[in-house]
Amino acid sequence: MVESTQRDIMTVLLGRVFELGLISEQTYKSARNSLASSIDLPEMLWYPVCLTKEAMTDGSTQNTG
């Protein structure tokens, strides 16, 4: 159930990104087909908050420059 809901949300978001003109139709169709045919959702959906080396626990980033 949760996985189905996540897949539905990703499909809607992908469609919106396409509607806004941020990705091409070919990219949209390819991503939509990949999402529909995937058995498991990408790890980014299972662990949505992954800190990078530079990210702080409060959500800010270090000034590296």
CA angle 42, 31, 19 (to 5 degrees): 120
Q: What is the pLDDT of residues 45-55, one digit of tens each?
A: 565 555 555 55
State the average pLDDT over residues 1-14: 83
Residue 41 clears pLDDT 70, i.e. is over it: no
- Torsion angle of alpha carbons 20, 22, 28, 32, nearest 10°? -80
pTM summary value:
0.57
The domains of the chain are located at 1-65
State the average pLDDT over residues 21-35: 91
How far apart (Å, rounded) are the C-alpha atoms in residues 41 and 51? 20
